């Protein structure tokens, strides 16, 4: 079947014009995803997927995914819906798989989404295109996003392979451009032996992707890089695959930035790995390939199909898919299943084969659509494949993602095709190979186009514009420079296209117009903005896209959450966990990228870039090590950031990659364009480097730690990247999206302040937290340890948004502990939390803490208004409570200065009221002694003072004899330190000379006073804390 499909695809591709393909893609993006997934072909696979998915569901990722989905929906309903549909499909099938990947993605998404809305304004797009590539990073996102997502996944997962695949997806655009060359590739893919070749193609793409990714980080570069990548891809596809992969990649990377180069190198390595893998797996792979390819085909088809649905492109087997596509979710599942199967294959050893196959399959599909699309698919598949090795489920997720990316790519392909329209016919592909820059330019357009397609599918008008602009930009890049107005014009034209057929027609017309304009030299002079649009057949396809996605998205959200849960199960398993998580992340990212590309892409792009940068750096680091190692090992390496860091091989790889990158960079650097780009890039680079530094830092920190830490680090990195991109306002963060369902089973966990979205694998679920609380309560260790543990419990509760009796218990426990330790700041935190928790009606020791609160206000804030207001808030019932009564009595004693009453209350305070009073004792005693020395004459026996002021241990006179001594000594000591004048009377009893003391009393400086006022920050104490 796969072979058949591929063949069909290739044929269809050949038959279909690039333009038509583009148009289809655009349309497909929205519909395609939904419909394509449905394909029944996968149903059988779907079952397997469901199994996997179930597992995924068990993991907690699902929750995250849900939240993230929400975001997506909001920002880009269309895109999201498409993605969601994919996700949902996966979810529906297995639900878990989708969720798995989704979860991580969600976190990232949430961040993205917020950004998207902002960034996304149409202006953002225009700027995108116009700016070209300052914003291109964003654009790049659409392409890069996939790559980014992958990169992210890789960091977390250590998916060296996946990353390449990601890069592929991004480069997908380039591939599309190279459609012709790719077709051969697709043929390769079809043949089992081809896996190797396919891998090459993918590798090429990967380099491109990587470059783009790198470029994105660098910022200015994204376009250029993408361009570069595309040329590379084109070149590669046409010829030099093996050679190009390294060279071109390096060159590209240089164009983008050092970071990109890094990526490239890694990519190369990865590619090499891939190749090796693919080769090895070939034999087994063939079988798998068939399955994988089928699945891939399905996925590819899905991507293609959307377009086909809207458009006539029945040529593809997709037609069958299309019917299936009716349920987008199913298709995604199926694809996911196929992917998973491929993944499985990878794991088995054949995996490489499967992956390859899958990629070929995708290429076929994409090829059918466009060469680029196929590439994207391939990349995606590869990515998924890496993920698959980690966990079949993740793989499934990845697959879905890959589908999305394919979809995106498809659009990009379309746009590229527009440019390519010229290009394919043009000898430029060859020239591109020769001319790194020129090629890169083309690629850039393609990339941007790819990004645009995503947009198109998602946000009806904007995406189209973007796509158009991308196309235009691509075309411009190819010929030299198309004016922005032309881009807009093209965008407008495409916007009007309602379905794929229209787009195809539109593209054809556009080509004519542009060629004409170029021929008569009016291309740059004409006022394209004012140019009337040619008539377009229909204008409904766009709407279709938008409609379809939204429902799907909602579904996907839901489905994803289960998937996350499944993750949790996996987590316990070290390898699987790491793999799964990364995979899921990458998948999510990919998906998001795809989705975001459409409408949100603008906003998200910057974030994505940041993320990409981050990820890339990580990926790069990881990749080298992975490349050197076997595929399986690679995964492991990728999984553990630490591992990558620790690996000497990785370092050497990096160096190599760097050198390669630099050399390539130098070669590239000559063009004036390149120089400009460099400037803009350098800025981005700074950012990217910063990211990397952060990442490294994180890694180092976590190096010693376990999986949890590495995961967290990756999560942190994600967050940071978000922050960096960070124009998003706090209120835009979708907290639902950031809600995590923890999977960590360890009872003990150190507190580490979250600086990023929480990683479910480091978060303990409620049952574990309960045990942890018990552990802390029964622990014999000191307060600092308990405080640390409780804070981590609180954190886990917070990120999982658990607000129930357990939460109250934890806060109460912590508040009590901090009271016992006299840690007021910590207590205040707990108290304020408890206030809201009680206000929500959760039961706890409400009265006890009302009393504490009262005491706190009375004794420590000394604010009459606060006191009055908190008193007025007490209910009648509360006033009858023993603890509250006590607190109110203390208040009365304090306001009247009744020290006798105060110290009586001090001695029999319920609960921990005494602890709070402790903090006021010194002040009260001083006041009391001042008062006494004014009003008593001539002397007061110390024994009386010791008794009244609570120095003696026992309450009041009865047991005085027993405790008398110690109380007296303490009291005398206290008197001495406060400058009191003591005398002895005839009986030898020590007396306070009140008259003399009245003028000599003073409040001594606290012994533990520190200059900064907070003894807790004292160095020694700090060190003891940290050494815990």
Interacting residues with another protein (CB under 8 A): 864-865, 867-869, 871-872, 892, 895-901, 930-932, 934-941, 944, 948, 956
Nearer to another protein, 243 or 935 (CB): 935
Distance, CA of 820 to CA of 434 (rounded, Å): 75
* Nearest distance in Å: CB 60, another protein: 31
Which stretch of DSSP H or E encloses residue 939? Answer: strand 939-941
* Nearest distance in Å: CB 864, another protein: 6
Which stretch of DSSP H or E encloses residue 375? Answer: helix 371-390
Distance, CA of 95 to CA of 84 (rounded, Å): 12
* Nearest distance in Å: CB 958, another protein: 13
* Nearest distance in Å: CB 1000, another protein: 17
Nearer to another protein, 717 or 971 (CB): 971
Q: Give the pair of three-digit tokens for residue 216.
A: 């994105």
Nearer to another protein, 934 or 953 (CB): 934
Say if residues 37 and 334 touch (Cβ distance below 8 Å). yes
Nearer to another protein, 638 or 942 (CB): 942
- For residue 460, how far is the Cα from the chain centroid? 26
Nearer to another protein, 270 or 943 (CB): 943
The two beta strands, 59-60 and 990-993, are: unpaired
- The sign of the CA dihedral 110, 114, 119, 121 is positive
* Nearest distance in Å: CB 956, another protein: 8
Nearer to another protein, 726 or 941 (CB): 941
Nearer to another protein, 612 or 933 (CB): 933
* Nearest distance in Å: CB 948, another protein: 6
Distance, CA of 586 to CA of 609 (rounded, Å): 14
* In the block, residue with structure tokens 């990865």: 270
3-state secondary structure of 940: strand
Q: Where are the alpha helices (DSSP H) in 16-134?
A: 18-37, 41-58, 61-75, 77-93, 96-120, 122-131
Q: Give the pair of three-digit tokens for residue 571.
A: 């987590």
Q: Give the pair of three-digit tokens for residue 966.
A: 């110690």
For the beta sheet containing 939-941, the strands, ordered from the edge strand earlier in sequence to the opposite edge, are: 939-941, 990-993, 982-984
* Nearest distance in Å: CB 781, another protein: 42
Nearer to another protein, 662 or 944 (CB): 944
Nearer to another protein, 896 or 966 (CB): 896
Nearer to another protein, 606 or 939 (CB): 939
3-state secondary structure of 983: strand
* Nearest distance in Å: CB 656, another protein: 58
* Nearest distance in Å: CB 1001, another protein: 13
Nearer to another protein, 314 or 871 (CB): 871
Of 43, 6, 565, give the one whose Cα is nearest residue 336.
43
Distance, CA of 365 to CA of 374 (rounded, Å): 6
CB neighbours (10 Å) of residue 457?
Answer: 44
Distance, CA of 165 to CA of 167 (rounded, Å): 5
Say if residues 494 and 26 touch (Cβ distance below 8 Å). yes
* In the block, residue with structure tokens 């241990």: 953
Distance, CA of 3 to CA of 195 (rounded, Å): 12
* Nearest distance in Å: CB 176, another protein: 49
* Nearest distance in Å: CB 717, another protein: 35
Distance, CA of 895 to CA of 906 (rounded, Å): 15
DSSP state of 958: G
Of 155, 169, 982, give the one whose Cα is nearest residue 639.
155
* Nearest distance in Å: CB 557, another protein: 25
* Nearest distance in Å: CB 892, another protein: 7
Nearer to another protein, 821 or 901 (CB): 901
Q: What is the DSSP string of 134-195?
A: TTHHHHHHHHHHHHHHHHHHHHHHB-TTHHHHHHHHHHHHHHHHTHHHHHHHHHHHHSTTHH
Nearer to another protein, 430 or 867 (CB): 867
Nearer to another protein, 731 or 1005 (CB): 731
Nearer to another protein, 931 or 1010 (CB): 931
* Nearest distance in Å: CB 934, another protein: 5
* Nearest distance in Å: CB 897, another protein: 5
Distance, CA of 162 to CA of 585 (rounded, Å): 11
The two beta strands, 982-984 and 990-993, are: antiparallel
Q: 441 — phi, psi (to 5°)?
A: -55, -50
* Nearest distance in Å: CB 496, another protein: 33
Q: Distance of CA 506 to CAs 142, 421, 463, Å?
A: 23, 12, 16
* Nearest distance in Å: CB 848, another protein: 22
Say if residues 420 and 18 touch (Cβ distance below 8 Å). yes
Nearer to another protein, 900 or 1010 (CB): 900
CB neighbours (10 Å) of residue 43?
Answer: 18
Cα dihedral 420→422→428→429 (10° resolution):
30
Nearer to another protein, 747 or 871 (CB): 871
Of 155, 256, 154, 258, give the one whose Cα is nearest residue 213.
256
DSSP state of 122: H
Q: Give the pair of three-digit tokens for residue 888.
A: 């109110």
* Nearest distance in Å: CB 937, another protein: 4
Of 821, 885, 818, give the one whose Cα is nearest residue 850.
885
Say if residues 338 and 357 touch (Cβ distance below 8 Å). no
Nearer to another protein, 458 or 893 (CB): 893
3-state secondary structure of 366: helix
Say if residues 496 and 539 touch (Cβ distance below 8 Å). yes
């Amino acid at each position: 079947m796969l072979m058949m499909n591929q063949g069909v695809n290739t044929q269809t591709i050949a038959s279909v014009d690039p333009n038509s393909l583009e148009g289809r893609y655009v349309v497909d993006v929205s519909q395609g995803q939904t419909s394509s997934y449905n394909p029944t072909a996968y149903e059988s696979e779907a079952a397997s997927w469901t199994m996997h998915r179930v597992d995924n569901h068990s993991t907690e990722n699902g929750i995250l995914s849900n939240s993230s989905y929400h975001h997506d929906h909001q920002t880009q309903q269309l895109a999201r819906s498409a993605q969601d549909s994919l996700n949902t499909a996966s979810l529906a099938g297995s639900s878990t798989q989708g969720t798995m990947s989704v979860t991580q993605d969600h976190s990232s998404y949430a961040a993205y989404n917020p950004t998207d809305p902002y960034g996304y304004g149409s202006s953002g797009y225009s700027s995108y295109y116009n700016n070209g590539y300052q914003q291109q990073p964003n654009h790049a996102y659409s392409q890069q996003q996939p790559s980014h997502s992958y990169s992210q996944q890789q960091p977390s997962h250590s998916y060296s392979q996946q990353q390449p695949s990601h890069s592929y997806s991004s480069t997908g655009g380039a591939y599309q451009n190279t459609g012709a060359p790719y077709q051969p590739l697709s043929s390769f893919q079809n043949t089992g032996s081809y896996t190797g070749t396919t891998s090459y193609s993918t590798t090429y793409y990967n380099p491109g992707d990587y470059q783009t990714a790198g470029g994105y980080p660098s910022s200015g570069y994204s376009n250029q890089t993408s361009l570069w990548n595309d040329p590379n891809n084109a070149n590669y596809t046409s010829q030099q695959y093996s050679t190009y992969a390294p060279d071109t990649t390096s060159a590209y990377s240089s164009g983008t930035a050092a970071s990109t180069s890094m990526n490239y190198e890694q990519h190369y390595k990865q590619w090499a790995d891939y190749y090796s893998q693919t080769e090895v797996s070939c034999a087994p792979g063939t079988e798998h390939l068939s399955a994988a390819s089928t699945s891939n085909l399905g996925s590819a088809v899905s991507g293609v199909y959307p377009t086909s649905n809207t458009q006539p492109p029945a040529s593809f087997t997709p037609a069958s898919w299309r019917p299936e596509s009716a349920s987008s979710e199913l298709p995604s599942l199926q694809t996911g299943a196929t992917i998973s199967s491929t993944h499985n294959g990878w794991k088995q050893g054949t995996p490489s084969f499967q992956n390859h196959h899958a990629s070929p399959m995708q290429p076929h599909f994409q090829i059918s659509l466009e060469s680029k699309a196929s590439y994207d698919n391939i990349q995606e598949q590869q990515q998924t494949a890496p993920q698959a090795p980690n966990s079949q489920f993740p793989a499934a997720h990845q697959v879905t993602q890959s589908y999305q990316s394919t979809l995106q790519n498809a659009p990009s392909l379309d746009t590229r095709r527009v440019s390519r329209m010229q290009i394919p016919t043009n000898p430029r592909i060859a020239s591109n190979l020769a001319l790194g820059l020129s090629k890169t330019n083309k690629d850039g357009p393609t990339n941007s186009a790819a990004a645009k397609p995503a947009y198109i599918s998602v946000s009806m008008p904007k995406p189209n514009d973007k796509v158009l602009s991308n196309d235009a930009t691509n075309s411009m890049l190819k010929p030299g420079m198309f004016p922005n107005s032309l881009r807009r014009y093209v965008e407008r034209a495409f916007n009007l296209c309602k379905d794929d057929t229209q787009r195809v027609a539109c593209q054809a017309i556009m080509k004519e117009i542009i060629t004409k304009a170029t021929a008569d030299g009016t291309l740059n002079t004409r006022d394209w903005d004012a140019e009337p649009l040619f008539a377009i057949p229909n204008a409904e396809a766009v709407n279709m896209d938008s409609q379809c996605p939204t429902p799907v998205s909602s579904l996907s959200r839901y489905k994803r959450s289960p998937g996350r849960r499944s993750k949790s199960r996996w987590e316990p398993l070290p390898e699987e966990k790491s793999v799964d998580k990364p995979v899921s992340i990458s998948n999510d990212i990919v998906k998001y990228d795809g989705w975001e590309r459409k409408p949100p892409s603008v906003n998200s792009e910057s974030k994505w870039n940041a993320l990409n940068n981050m990820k890339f750096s990580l990926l790069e680091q990881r990749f080298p090590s992975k490349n050197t190692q076997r595929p399986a090992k690679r995964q492991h390496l990728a999984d553990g950031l630490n591992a990558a860091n620790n690996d000497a091989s990785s370092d050497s790889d990096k160096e190599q990659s760097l050198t390669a990158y630099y050399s390539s960079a130098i070669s590239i650097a000559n063009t004036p364009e390149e120089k400009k780009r460099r400037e803009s890039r350098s800025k981005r680079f700074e950012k990217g480097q910063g990211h990397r530094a952060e990442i490294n830092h994180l890694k180092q920190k976590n190096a010693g730690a376990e999986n949890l830490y590495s995961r967290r680090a990756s999560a942190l990195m994600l967050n940071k990247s978000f922050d960096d991109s960070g124009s998003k306002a706090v209120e835009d963060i979708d907290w639902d999206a950031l809600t995590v369902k923890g999977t960590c089973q360890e009872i003990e966990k150190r507190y580490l302040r979250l600086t990023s979205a929480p990683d479910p694998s480091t978060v303990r679920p409620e049952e574990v937290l309960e045990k942890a609380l018990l552990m802390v309560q029964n622990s014999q260790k000191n307060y600092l340890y308990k405080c640390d543990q409780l804070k981590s419990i609180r954190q886990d509760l917070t990120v999982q948004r658990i607000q129930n009796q357990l939460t109250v218990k934890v806060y109460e426990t912590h508040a009590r502990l901090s009271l016992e330790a006299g840690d007021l700041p910590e207590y205040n935190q707990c108290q304020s939390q408890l206030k809201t928790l009680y206000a929500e009606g959760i039961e706890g020791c409400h009265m006890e803490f009302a009393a504490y609160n009262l005491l706190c206000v009375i004794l420590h804030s000394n604010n009459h208004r606060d006191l009055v207001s908190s008193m007025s808030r007490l209910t009648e019932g509360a006033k009858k409570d023993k603890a509250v009564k006590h607190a109110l009595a203390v208040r009365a004693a304090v306001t009247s200065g009744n020290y006798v009453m105060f110290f009586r209350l001090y001695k029999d305070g319920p609960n921990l009221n005494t602890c709070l009073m402790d903090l006021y004792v010194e002040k009260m005693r001083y006041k009391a002694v001042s008062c006494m020395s004014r009003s008593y004459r001539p002397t007061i026996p110390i024994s009386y003072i010791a008794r009244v002021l609570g120095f003696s241990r026992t309450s009041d006179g009865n047991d005085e004899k027993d405790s008398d001594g110690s109380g007296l000594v303490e009291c005398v000591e206290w008197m001495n330190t406060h400058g009191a004048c003591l005398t002895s009377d005839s009986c030898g009893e020590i007396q306070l000379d009140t008259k003399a003391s009245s003028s000599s009393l003073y409040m001594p400086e606290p012994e533990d006073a520190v200059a900064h006022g907070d003894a807790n920050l004292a160095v020694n104490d700090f060190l003891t804390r940290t050494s815990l």
